[in-house]
C-alpha cells in the first residue's frame, strides 16, 4: 500500500509586523511610540517620527478626526521634504554667499524697479527658457539680484548653477584639453537656470570665447541664462575680441530676453562714504 506524504510548502511564512495591532485592546504608550518610531525610520519619514506626538496632542486639543489628524501628519512630512529639497538645490547651485531678494535695498538704487524684480522672481521666464541680462557698474547690485533670483528659482524647484564667467571658461578649456568637453557642456546645458556672473571683467581669447558660445548655443531657447556684466553690450568687444562672435553672443542673450540696467552709482561706495562721515554733535 502506497503511503501518501502531505505536501509542505517551501515558501517561508511572512514575518509578522511588530508593534500594536487593532485588537480592541489599547497598547501601552511605550509600544505605540516604539511602533511609530520604527515604522517612520523604515519608511524614511523623519518629520513624522519627530513631530507625531506634537501633532497628535494638537489634534486631541482641537478634537480632530482620525482622518484629519492623518492629513496633518502627512502634510507636515510633505512640507518638510519640500523645504529640504529647496535647501539641497540652493547648495547644489554653488552660490558664493547667501543673498535673497527680500534683503535687497531698492531704496539705495532707484534705477531698479521692484515690480520688475518681483515678476522675474515668479520664474515664468525660466520656464520659457528666456535670458536675463543685468548690466551696470560695480556695486550696483547685479550679483545680489543674480544670486537672489537664482535662489528664488531653486526654492521653486528649478535646477540652478552659478559660476563666474572666467571660471566657466577655464573649466571648458581644461575639459577640451582632457577630451571630455561634450560632457561638460551637456552638464551646463541640463540645468534650468545658468547664472553667469562677472562677464566682461576679463578679456577672453578666441578659444575661450568660442567655448563659452557653445554653452550658450546648447541652452538657446531651451533653458534660461542669467548674466551679470559691468559693461554695456557695446563694450563687450573688449571681452570677446572677435567682432562676429561678440555679435552672435549678444544676439543669443538678448533675443526675447530681459534686460535690466542697474545704473552707475555704487551702493557699496555710497555706503562706505556714509560710514566714514562723522555724525555732528547734537
C-alpha cell at 6: 502531505
Q: What is the pLDDT of residues 130-164, one digit of tens each?
A: 999 999 998 899 999 999 999 999 999 999 999 99
Most confident of 69-73, 239-243, 258-262, 270-274: 258-262
**How far, in Å, CA of 236 to CA of 230, rounded?**
10
Q: What is the pLDDT of residues 199-249, one digit of tens each?
A: 988 888 889 999 999 999 888 878 999 999 998 888 888 888 888 889 988
pLDDT at 279 over 60: no
Spell out a b/e string for 68-80, using b for 16 or more CB atoms within 10 Å of the CB, else e.
ebeebbeebbeeb
Which three-class secondary structure state does DSSP give residue 73?
helix
Confidence category of residue 276, pLDDT binned at 50, 70, 90: low
Among 27-41, 168-182, 260-274, the range scoring the smallest mean pLDDT is: 260-274
Would you state the pLDDT for residue 12?
Answer: 54
For residue 131, give the H/E element and its range: strand 131-136
**How far, in Å, CA of 139 to CA of 39, rounded?**
53
CATH code for the part of the protein at 95-270: 3.40.50.300
Q: What is the pLDDT of residues 100-112, one digit of tens each?
A: 999 999 998 889 9
For the chain, domain boundaries: 29-92, 95-270
Residue with cell 516604539: 34
**Ramachandran sector of residue 198 (left: φ over 0; alpha: ψ -120 to 50; beta: rest):** left
C-alpha cell at 91: 547648495
Alpha carbon of 157 to those of 44, 125, 192, 255: distances in Å? 21, 14, 10, 25
Separation of first and last alpha carbons in the chain? 121
pLDDT at 3 over 50: no
Amino acid at each position: 500500500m502506497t503511503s501518501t506524504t502531505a505536501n509542505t510548502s517551501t515558501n517561508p511564512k511572512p514575518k509578522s509586523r511588530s508593534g500594536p495591532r487593532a485588537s480592541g485592546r489599547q497598547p501601552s504608550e511605550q509600544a505605540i511610540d516604539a511602533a511609530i518610531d520604527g515604522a517612520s525610520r523604515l519608511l524614511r519619514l523623519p518629520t513624522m517620527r519627530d513631530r507625531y506626538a506634537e501633532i497628535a496632542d494638537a489634534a486631541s486639543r482641537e478634537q480632530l478626526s482620525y482622518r484629519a489628524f492623518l492629513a496633518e501628519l502627512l502634510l507636515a512630512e510633505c512640507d518638510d521634504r519640500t523645504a529640504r529639497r529647496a535647501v539641497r538645490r540652493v547648495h547644489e547651485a554653488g552660490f558664493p554667499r547667501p543673498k535673497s531678494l527680500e534683503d535687497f535695498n531698492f531704496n539705495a538704487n532707484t534705477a531698479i524697479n521692484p515690480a520688475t524684480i518681483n515678476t522675474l522672481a515668479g520664474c515664468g521666464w525660466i520656464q520659457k527658457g528666456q535670458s536675463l541680462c543685468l548690466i551696470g557698474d560695480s556695486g550696483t547690485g547685479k550679483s545680489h539680484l543674480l544670486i537672489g533670483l537664482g535662489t528664488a528659482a531653486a526654492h521653486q524647484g528649478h535646477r540652478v548653477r552659478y559660476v563666474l564667467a572666467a571660471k566657466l571658461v577655464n573649466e571648458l578649456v581644461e575639459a577640451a584639453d582632457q577630451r571630455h568637453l561634450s560632457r561638460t557642456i551637456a552638464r551646463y546645458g541640463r540645468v534650468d537656470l545658468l547664472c553667469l556672473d562677472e562677464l566682461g571683467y576679463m578679456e577672453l581669447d578666441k578659444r575661450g570665447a568660442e567655448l563659452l558660445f557653445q554653452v550658450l548655443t546648447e541652452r538657446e531657447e531651451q533653458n534660461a541664462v542669467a548674466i551679470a556684466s559691468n559693461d554695456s553690450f557695446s563694450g563687450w568687444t573688449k571681452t570677446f575680441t572677435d567682432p562676429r562672435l561678440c555679435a552672435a553672443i549678444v544676439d543669443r542673450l538678448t533675443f526675447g530676453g530681459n534686460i535690466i540696467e542697474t545704473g552707475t552709482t555704487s551702493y557699496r561706495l555710497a555706503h562706505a562714504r556714509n560710514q566714514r562721515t562723522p555724525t555732528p554733535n547734537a
